[in-house]
Amino acid sequence: MTQLIPTQLIPGISTTEVTPVPLAGGLVFGAAVIDVQSPFDGELLGQVPALTSADVDRAVAYARKAMHERPLAQWQRAEILDKAALLMAERRDDFAIAIAREAAKPIKTARGEADRAVATFQFSGAVARTLTGDTVPLEAAAVGGGKIGFTLRVPVGVVGAISPFNFPLNLVVHKVGPAIAAGCAVVLKPASQTPFSSILLARLLADAGLPDGYLQIVTGSGGTVGNALVDHPDVALISFTGSPDVGWGIRARAPRKRVGLELGNNAPVIIEADGDWATAAAKIKLAGFAHAGQSCISTQRVLVHQSIADAFVTKLVANVNELVVGDPMAEATDVSALISRAERDRVVGWISEAVSAGGQVACGGDLDANGVLRPTVIVNAKPEMNICALEVFGPVVAVQTYESYDTALQIANDTRYGLQAAVFTSDIAKGLQAARTLDFGGVLINEVPTWRADHMPYGGIRDSGNTREGPAYSVREMTEERLIIISG
Ligand code: NAP
């Protein structure tokens, strides 16, 4: 781990001077700056440039030039990605501190995110090595006699990546890793609250041998630099992860571009009486509350069969009460602050609304001495409450009961979102019924909907998005299939 010097709270990032971003072959400080403060205690962590649309223009032009002048062969892409995985493992603790400080993600959870970033680089390297086109049997058509056809996978062009605050490292690697595997240069706009993980990542990739111009960072507001990236005619693809309103706004704004959207969810889990409900209660302890529920697949809606509801809730509440609330830098902490006071107050408002409509707080619902919202379980929840109908994105699990399995499947499906859903049952027929009936990007049986491995196809339908991430799947989006025909 890098030694912290007195003016640093994040290794390699000054708290007193602007941290410049790599852009157009140099380090850019910008005319204006953004203060980045700890969501936990408001302490100033550092400053980054607040860039403009002119900076985005320069970055995109430079990215195109890099792809043109320094194209990367597949073996070079793979070597860079493998080296990046090794460096990420070495610098894991530095990245964990950056994540914990800027996103208030508890340090032990932040280390887990850095470990996942290692895996995402490894899988991206594997894809770079094996990327291939198809042969096309042209002679299968009468007109194709004597002709040979095949496809080449060529880079789509400059990728504009826009990332959220909640996984400030691994979700960026999910865009940058596959883009390198595809041979594309990236112009990255990180969330304004969490730019430092991205800046450290750019330094790491330069050390791994990524040529200049293949990863540039444009810090600044979504409305300014985000829109400039979306509007730029030389950005071939926007890879966006964030909230549905912003994501679908981008889709509408750029009808002629490829736009990949990874958006929100209100993940349901159904717990049948014949399922291992004690294991479900143990898993939901983390699945509902890791990073204070700020994960797109946080377990939010728990549908439990009425015959086991009391026993299940007793177990769940006992588990949740074990969670340690506090400073994200403390080793023992499980749950820390939400990303802003405004977000915390919104979630508190939704809890009050649920209570007014007949919900009961089984645990939590209040703030600790530092103003952190405690992990909250609400029973007697109803589908129309905000805590069920919308994405909470906070430390709240809403428990509803049901009588029939068919009704539970219906309730789970009755949502504008569609990322991942789950069921616990020991009956294989019910598991298969869920697999066929639950209308989501992923259906998990005897696992929480929050589970993810970094190489699986991950993404949603309806308001949850329109694409699948995971290096092998992202690379398909980030390449064009060029048809080659040889006439003999
Ligand atoms: P957000 O507010 O939508 O912001 C995401 C990114 O978009 C940020 O970089 C933001 O910049 C930028 N942005 C804002 N307005 C923009 C605009 N008009 N044009 C272009 N870019 C713009 O989302 P968030 O609060 O950071 O993240 C939480 C959301 O992400 C949740 O809904 C969560 O479910 C979703 N999410 C989904 C996945 C998935 O894989 N499906 C994973 C993680 C998170 P600023 O920071 O400068 O505003």
Domain boundaries, the chain: 21-263+465-484, 268-454
Amino acid occupying residue 272: E
With a 6 Å cutoff on the Cβ, whether 298 touches ligand 1 is no
Determine the Cα angle at 30 with ends 27 and 33, to 5°. 120
Question: Is the beta carbon of 222 within 6 A of some atom in ligand 1?
Answer: yes
Nearest CA, atom 13, ligand 1: 222
Contacts of residue 267, Cβ cutoff 8 Å, sequence gap at least 6:
297, 298, 299, 300, 301, 417, 419, 420, 421, 422, 449, 450
CB 457 near ligand 1, within 6 Å: no
283 CA to centre of ligand 1 in angstroms? 27
What number of CA atoms fall less than 13 Å from residue 404's CA on the CB side?
3
Single-letter amino acid code for the residue at 253: R
Q: Using CA positions, which residue lies closest to atom 37 of ligand 1?
A: 263
Tracing tokens 């060029």 back to the chain, one arrives at 482
Distance of CA 281 to CAs 272, 275, 315, 423, 443, Å? 12, 11, 6, 13, 18
pLDDT at 3 over 80: no
- Which bin fits 3, alpha (ψ -120 to 50), beta or left (φ > 0)? beta
Taking only the tens place, the pLDDT of each residue in 8-51 is 999 999 999 999 999 999 999 999 999 999 999 999 999 999 99
Q: Cα(450) to centroid of ligand 1, in Å?
A: 19
For residues 326-360, one letter each, b for 16 or more C-beta atoms within 10 angstroms of the residue's C-beta and e for the rest, the string is bbbbeeebbbbbbbeeebbeebbebbeebeeeebe
Q: Say which DSSP state 4 is in.
A: P
Answer positive or negative: Cα dihedral of 27, 29, 30, 33. positive
pLDDT at residue 78, as a whole number: 98
Quick one: pLDDT band at residue 5, thresholds 50, 70, 90? confident
End-to-end CA distance of the chain: 60
Q: What is the mean pLDDT of residues 380-405?
A: 98
Residue 227 CB–ligand 1 contact under 6 Å = yes
44: phi > 0 → left, psi -120 to 50 → alpha, else beta; which?
Answer: beta
Q: How far is the CA of 166 from the centre of ligand 1 (A)?
A: 9
| Binding site membership of 321 for ligand 1 (Cβ less than 6 Å) | no
CA distance 479 to 475: 6
Q: Rounded to 5 degrees, what are φ and ψ at 261?
A: -115, 125
Tell me how crowded residue 137 is: count the other CB atoms within 10 A of its CB.
11
Give me the count of residues in the chain: 488
Q: If you search the block for the tokens 């508890």, which residue do you land on?
A: 106
335's tokens: 């749950």
In the reported structure, the alpha carbon of residue 241 is separated from the centroid of ligand 1 by a whole-number distance in angstroms of 6
Atom 28 in ligand 1: residue holding the nearest Cα: 242
The residue assigned the tokens 């309730």 is 411
Q: Which residues lie below 8 Å from residue 398, measured CB to CB, with a gap of 6+?
A: 300, 301, 302, 354, 359, 378, 381, 385, 387, 388, 392
The closest alpha carbon to 354, from 389, 319, 323, 325, belongs to 389
Amino acid at 81: L
Going by alpha carbons, the residue nearest to atom 18 of ligand 1 is: 223
How far, in Å, is the centroid of ligand 1 from the Cα of 114?
20
- Which among 225, 222, 267 is positioned nearest to 249, based on CA atoms? 222
Residue 307: DSSP 8-state: G
In the prediction, which pLDDT does 484 show?
Answer: 98
Q: Which of 412, 396, 331 is nearest to 364 (CA)?
A: 396
d(CA 202, CA 197): 9
Measured distance CA(479)–CA(179) in Å, rounded: 9
pLDDT at 309 over 80: yes
257: confidence class by pLDDT, cuts 50, 70, 90: very high
Q: Is 482 exposed, middle or buried (0-12, 13-18, 19+ CB in 10 A)?
A: exposed
* CB of residue 226 inside a 6 A radius of ligand 1: yes
Any atom of ligand 1 within 6 Å of the Cβ of 467: no
Contacts 24+ apart (CB under 8 A), 252-257: 253/227, 254/230, 257/230
Residue 394 Cβ inside 6 Å of ligand 1? The answer reads no
Q: Which two tokens stand for residue 77?
A: 């892409």
Residue 419 exposed, middle or buried by CB count within 10 Å (0-12, 13-18, 19+) = buried
Which residues are identified as catalytic?
262, 296
CA torsion, ordered 247, 243, 438, 424, to nearest 10 deg: 150
| Residue minimizing CA distance to atom 42 of ligand 1 | 296
Ligand 1 atom closest to 220 (CA): 47
293 close to ligand 1 (CB < 6 Angstrom): no
Mean pLDDT estimate for the chain: 98
Please give the average per-residue pLDDT across 43-62, as a whole number. 98
For a pocket test of ligand 1, which of 113, 166, 248 has the largest count of ligand atoms closer than 8 A to its C-beta?
Answer: 166
The residue whose two tokens read 């700890």 is 38
Q: What distance in Å separates the CA atoms of residue 171 and residue 190, rounded to the nearest whole number? A: 10
Is the CB of 74 within 6 Å of ligand 1? no
**Cα 1 to ligand 1 centroid, rounded to whole Å:** 30
* pLDDT for the residue 6: 74
CATH of domain 268-454: 3.40.309.10
The predicted structure's pLDDT at residue 176? 99
Q: What are the pLDDT digits (tens) for 407-460?
A: 999 999 999 999 999 999 999 999 999 999 999 999 999 999 999 999 999 999
Q: Report the pLDDT value the prediction gives residue 2, as an integer from 0 to 100.
A: 78
Pocket flag, ligand 1, residue 163 (CB < 6 Å) = yes
The percent of residues above 70 in pLDDT, for the chain, comes to 100
Q: Kindly state the average pLDDT of the residues 69-91.
A: 98
* 469 CA closest ligand 1 atom index: 40
CA proximity to 31, closest of 57, 49, 48: 49
User: In ligand 1, which atom is closest to the CA atom of 194?
Assistant: 46
Superfamily of domain 21-263+465-484: Aldehyde Dehydrogenase; Chain A, domain 1 (3.40.605.10)
| Backbone φ and ψ of 335, nearest 5° | -135, 130
- Residue 102 Cβ contacting ligand 1 at under 6 Å: no
Query: Model confidence over 86-138: pLDDT tens digits?
Result: 999 999 999 999 999 999 999 999 999 999 999 999 999 999 999 999 999 99
307 CA to centre of ligand 1 in angstroms: 40
Residue to mutate (ligand 1; options 263, 415, 420; most atoms within 8 A of CB): 263
Q: Spell out where 292-446 has E strands.
A: 301-305, 360-363, 376-379, 396-402, 420-424, 442-445
pLDDT at 51: 98
Residue 262 has pLDDT above 90, yes or no: yes
The predicted structure's pLDDT at residue 488:
82
Centroid of ligand 1 to alpha carbon of 417 (angstroms):
16
